[in-house]
Amino acid sequence: MVLVVAAVVVVAVLSSRHGDDGPAGGGWAADTAVPAVYRPWITRAGSRCTDITPALLAAQLRQESGFDPRAVSSVGARGIAQFMPGTWETWATDGDGDGIADVWNPADAIAAQGRFMCALAAQARRGREAGRLHGDVVQLALAGYNAGFGAVWAAGGVPAFPETTTYVRSITAMVATATRPATVSARPAAVTLVDLIGEPS
């Protein structure tokens, strides 16, 4: 039986903020799936606000760390969601209810990622409504996650830093591609981005 699944095409560019080769020492194959163990946390974190979806968070985690909860970048960003220490102090979240907010715990880091991205999206929306920012809300939020929202304010939109424009383009392309169907002969065993969005109607 032919089933519709996502054909996720990844631009495997991990910037200097996260290390050139990624946490596994190389690029990620186009068919790398979202690890099933993280699906509940991604789904929950992507349900906090309307702008930030589970598929977006999954694509962002893939770009940030390749889903590696022990990833460390050359500039000190840590964990699956690549929080800098100062940012983690602000957004640290106890996602699994164990009483500890730990950047190395994927449940906590993904929950914090969702909170942070929703806050960035809210800032982006307010900036657009005030006429101070131009561009897509989600792309502005992604740029804020990567470059800091001060840089977004200063640029009046997505700042023209090569790292940031690549980051935004790569993640939005992953999500867009995940909504386009492709046929294969068997359902994959692992969870893919389309599972987090739902199959196209």
Q: What is the distance of C-alpha 37 from the center of its chain?
A: 16
Supply 61's token pair. Answer: 């985690």
Q: Is the pLDDT assigned to residue 11 strictly greater than 50?
A: no
CATH number at 9-197: 1.10.530.10
What 3-state DSSP class applies to 4? Answer: strand
What is the DSSP code (8-state) at residue 33?
Answer: P
The pLDDT score that the predictor gives to residue 156 is 98
Where do the domains of the chain lie? 9-197
C-alpha to C-alpha distances, 20 to 41, 61, 63, 87, 159, nearest whole angstrom: 27, 16, 12, 22, 21
Cα Rg, the chain, nearest whole Å:
16
Average pLDDT for residues 9-15, to the nearest whole number?
Answer: 31
pTM: 0.76
pLDDT band with cut points at 50, 70 and 90 for residue 82 = very high
The pLDDT score that the predictor gives to residue 176 is 84
Minimum mean pLDDT range among 17-26, 166-175, 176-185: 17-26
DSSP string covering 99-138: S---TTSHHHHHHHHHHHHHHHHHHHHHHHHTTS--S-HH
